[in-house]
């Protein structure tokens, strides 16, 4: 039953990663948090394990997804090259913070941000890059940091921000997937070399390997399907799907923060 749970979770995460560039963490983190709390009894560290494992799973998934988008011409390579250093800096700070910080206040802030992004998507007002366009380096540094804290890969912020800067939705999704790959590599290295204060078997650092392989393989296989679907769905429909996902994320963050 455990392996079946991981496979189903991975298939859903892979399709979402390819379709929306979200890295699948929106599904993997809450699913693994529930699994680890109910199956292992390590409730105090379940969220840390879930985030670290989700980010590890995101690496091959984001690689497959970004490559598929690159083949379809929906990846802004020059922009990606310019923001990689900022993603790395943000991810390193995120790893250090994730190991110490309480998450409830950060969940509230994330929920507010997701809600505002949903509002902007449904409002559908033309956006000019001359109006309220935050500079690229600090925003991407923050996204790198926040991606690690939440284990979501950053797509929930990267995609809307790139759309705000004038990118097409499909290009924003493809570039977001590549950003998730960079963030995942850096953060996983940090979580692997950190000794977790638990005695859970089959872990290195904070990465739980049975979930990594079970979810990761199925997610990697399903990511190209999601990328293919993103090129068969109308742009507006893709934006509405993104808004729906962000709505779920916002509700989950508020519920978890106040529970």
Which pTM was predicted? 0.79
pLDDT of residue 200: 76
In this prediction, residues 43-59 reach a mean pLDDT of 84
pLDDT in tens, 191-233: 998 877 777 778 888 899 999 999 988 888 887 787 777 777 7
Q: Tell me which residue range forms the domain holding 23.
A: 2-258
CB-based contacts of 208, cutoff 8 Å, min separation 6: 32, 36, 49, 52, 53, 200, 202
Q: Which of 34-48, 83-97, 145-159 has the lowest mean pLDDT?
A: 34-48
Q: Quick one: angle between helices 235-258 and 104-123, nearest 10?
A: 150
pLDDT for residue 127 is more than 70 = no
Q: Kindly write down the DSSP assignment for every residue of 102-154, as one continuous string.
A: -SHHHHHHHHHHHHHHHHHHHH-----TTSS---HHHHHHHHHHHHHHHTSTT
Q: What is the dihedral of CA 207, 143, 161, 13, to 10 degrees?
A: 0
User: Is pLDDT at 129 greater than 50 in this prediction?
Assistant: no
The answer to whether residues 50 and 37 touch, using CB atoms and an 8 Å cutoff, is no
- Contact between 27 and 16 under an 8 Å Cβ cutoff? The reply is yes
Burial of 72 (0-12, 13-18, 19+ CB in 10 A): middle
Backbone angles phi, psi at 12, to 5 degrees: -65, -45
Q: Which residue has the tokens 């394990």?
A: 49
Average predicted confidence (pLDDT) for the chain? 81
**pLDDT at residue 149, as a whole number:** 84
* Residue 148 and residue 194 in contact, taking contact as beta carbons nearer than 8 Å: no
Mean pLDDT of 95-101: 86
Most confident of 13-17, 55-59, 103-107: 55-59
Q: What is the predicted pLDDT for the residue at 131? A: 54
Residue-level pLDDT at 221: 84
Determine the length of the chain: 259
Whether the pLDDT of residue 156 is over 80: the answer is no
In sequence order, the β-bridge partners of residue 207 are 204
Query: Could you report the per-residue pLDDT of 66-75, keeping only the tens digit for each?
Result: 888 888 888 9
Helical segments of the chain, H only: 2-20, 25-39, 46-71, 77-98, 104-123, 136-150, 155-164, 169-192, 209-230, 235-258
Q: Mean pLDDT throughout 6-13?
A: 88
Q: How far apart are CA 89 and CA 137, in angstroms?
A: 10
Number of domain units in the chain? 1
Phi, psi of 22 (to 5 degrees): -90, -5
Top-ranked range on mean pLDDT: pick from 85-94, 107-116, 140-149: 85-94
Distance, CA of 4 to chain centre: 23
Give the model's confidence band at 84: pLDDT under 50 very low, under 70 low, under 90 confident, else very high.
very high
Residue 120 has pLDDT above 90, yes or no: no
For 19-37, the pLDDT digits (tens) are 765 567 777 888 888 888 7
Condensed to tens digits (0 to 9), the pLDDT of residues 185-201 reads 999 999 998 877 777 77
pLDDT per position as a tens digit, 132-143: 567 888 999 999
pLDDT at res. 6? 93
């Amino acid at each position: 039953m455990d392996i079946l749970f991981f496979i189903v979770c991975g298939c859903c995460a892979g399709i979402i990663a390819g379709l929306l560039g979200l890295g699948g963490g929106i599904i993997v983190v809450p699913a693994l948090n529930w699994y680890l709390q109910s199956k292992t009894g390590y409730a105090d560290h379940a969220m840390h394990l879930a985030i670290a494992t989700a980010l590890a799973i995101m690496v091959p998934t984001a690689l497959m997804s970004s490559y598929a988008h690159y083949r379809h011409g929906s990846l802004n390579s020059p922009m990606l090259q310019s923001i990689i250093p900022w993603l790395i800096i943000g991810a390193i700070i995120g790893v250090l913070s994730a190991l110490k910080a309480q998450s409830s206040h950060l969940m509230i802030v994330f929920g507010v941000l997701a809600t505002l992004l949903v509002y902007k998507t449904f409002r559908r007002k033309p956006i000019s890059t001359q109006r309220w366009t935050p500079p690229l380096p600090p925003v991407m540094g923050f996204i790198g940091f926040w991606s690690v804290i939440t284990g979501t890969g950053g797509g929930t912020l990267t995609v809307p921000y790139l759309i705000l800067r004038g990118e097409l939705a499909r290009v924003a999704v493809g570039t977001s997937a590549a950003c998730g790959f960079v963030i995942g590599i850096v953060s996983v290295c940090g979580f692997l070399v950190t000794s977790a204060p638990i005695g859970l078997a089959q872990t290195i650092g904070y990465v739980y390997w049975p979930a990594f392989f079970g979810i990761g393989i199925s997610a990697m296989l399903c990511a190209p399907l999601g990328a293919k679907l993103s090129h068969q769905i109308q742009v507006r429909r893709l934006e509405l799907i993104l808004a729906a996902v962000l709505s779920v994320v916002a509700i989950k963050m508020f519920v978890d923060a106040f529970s």
